[in-house]
Structure 1
Amino acid sequence: MQLPFDTIISDFSASALDRDKTRIYQAICDQDEVSRKRLAKHLSMRPTTISTLVNELIKDEVVEEVRTVASSGQGRPEVVLAPVRDRFIVIMLQVVSRTIRCRLVDMSGSLLGEEIIEINRDEADNSMILAATESLIEKLIANTPERSEILGIGIVVPGIIDRQNRLWIYSARWPRMQALPFDEIGEKFGLPVGVNRNLNLELRTRLLRKKEEREGSVLLIHWGYGIGSSYALNGSVIESSIGSFGEFGHWTVDPSSMRQCHCGESGCLETIASLWSLLPELRTIYPVVPSEETAFEAFTRENDISELPMIERAVDAFALSLANLNKAVFADRIVLTGPFVNIPSVLKRLESRFFQHLPHYAHGKCQMYVATLGAFDITQGCVMPFFEERMRTIFTAHDEAR
């Protein structure tokens, strides 16, 4: 994981010294066997400037001297410098299916610890989820390296959130949970809290990596345990006033259906096409079908489920709903993620049905492709703002000003 050095010091108040300090730290992160002498040559800076600013970084404990090596030329041995990756860490809390996963993440993206708990759907209310979360965080804090400073708690959840007020408004997987206040967790541990809807965070992180997608519109679709979407226009992820956008998994697609969705309504798309709704019928044929998405995707590589009647119904319902969603936004790109779209025959059927529903005037104006948005993308998007803010204070603080 790489800090966005070009944006950390991007405001007009940053001095030349701030920028030099940032460049030095970046070079220490990027290069092996780097020393003060080699930094001066590589960055074309005066040795005294290098020495002063490196000493500041060492004093701030974000850089350390690790060993001496023979000089590349004449003179005394050189001291090799290295970044202290675990100087600052972030607690990351993520909800996956019905589990809460809590991790300690350092500035390289490495996991220093992890605690996981599964929450029962019918019992999970605000108090239970808060208690479980606080228990996981306490265990991680107890195992934090002594030299590490915890910067905050980054939270990634599905459903509807109020990001500004750090409230988890609603999630269909735990319907008894309503407007859960994550600020209570921050107050308990004395740490700032950041909250993100998972699909919005995934799309925001994707746009950081793919500059070409920052122009026009992108519709990110996830089809797995649940169904949802995120949408970006000209590089900005769109959010509604209640903290959600694109909850099309809870569109009513069969008003006559009596099958109840996790959201409390009946006849939703998820009751036909989501993994949670398909599991009971799939398990009558394959008793060991897993509910976790990664394990389910591996299962489908060994077992062809694409021609099962319930899967064909799911694909057709999903394709029609996606086509209707696209008519509302007419995205330039549709990015598909999740285990179902990684089944080749399912993807082929989905594409065929989708483009059949596409208006004639929109043909050729929408690209559709599958992407793998790994856990690292989510981790980076969740924890990076904490590291950026803290390192900005490091780069703009100098001994002569203290």
Structure 2
Amino acid sequence: MLLPWEYGVRNLARRPVRTTLTLVALATVVMLVFVVVGFIRGMEQSLSVSGDPDVVLVYSVNSEENIENSSIAARTPSLLTASLQGTVKRFGVTHVSPELYLGTRVKNESADGGLGLVRGVTLAAPLVRRSVKLTDGDWPGAGEVMVGRLAAAKLGSSDEAMAVGQTIEFEGRSWKIRGRFAAGGAAYESEIWCNLGDLQTATKRQDLSLAAMLLSPGSSAAEVKLFCKERTDLELRASRETDYYATLQQHYKPVRLLAWFVVALVSGAGVFAGLNMMYGAVAGRVREIATLQAIGFRRRAILVSLVQEAVLLAAAGSLFSGVIALTVLNGMAVRFTMGAFTLRIDSVAILIGCGVGLLLGVLGALPPALKALRLQVATSLKAV
């Protein structure tokens, strides 16, 4: 026969201080798990939504996978449009975006020399980067920029300092913020966009970093790759944009593995913390456990009751942490080498966080409960 369900619930209320401390400790461990898993999920989401399957990137073969190091001739976009027929063309405008992409120090009112990502573009950029949507202000003109919604997080500054009308400095010039844009969580959201000619003048460069081409339906990226392979004098390589960001995911795989290792370490530390707390809780209830055995309850029933108490605490702590994670952590911007992204507390993060919390309750209660139940009843009844 099992002990009544309400017996375990009432036991939690009989020791409010110990119950509260245990609840806070379990909630803290689960919150750390939420933070790390949210970081992993946010980075994966940012890279997965950044690529457009219809866009092909053409950049220098010597840059490997780092477009910031790429340098191609300014005439490359014209050569591509003249030699290839698979690019989208509407109203006489070919959907090819020449771009200059670099990392540089950006200063504003609240960030003195933060590392920002700047992309010089033309009016063809929104035709190719179809996920980019202007949310405030207007397209930048001469001496102006528009900033992604996560550019402030990348620079470590406030959103007010990156609002429309504010001024920032990079490459020895002052730039006025004309607009703000979003890109559905893509990596562009941590960038600063300005006029390509202005950026070339400021950096004293006439080359480009890449050319982005929007392919028409039925066209294949293989044609562009074949062209780049045949024109060895240009030293170009082509990659579908989705393949490029998939490669970046592989590049950051060690970081994700390290983060999962941190989850395991935090969970392990939580188990030991739970063991320590439960040992203390059970040690003060030796006489109670012996009395329950003396009046006829089996050890298995008492064990189930003790585990029930621990699981109730763990469930409450997981629920408390889950509410905070969804309301506070979800969508919080995080700086990273690739730019910035937001923590993502999705169903996977909730499942892992709450699963770890419940696991802490079970694993934390079993060893001390089994130890207490192995004691002789007569000896335990005399315990102080």
* TM bucket normalised to smaller: under 0.3
Normalization by structure 2: what TM-score? 0.21
Normalization by structure 1: what TM-score? 0.21
Greater per-residue helix proportion: 2
Q: Whose relative contact order is higher, 1 or 2, with alpha carbons under 8 Å and at least 6 apart?
A: 2
Radius of gyration: which is bigger?
A: 2
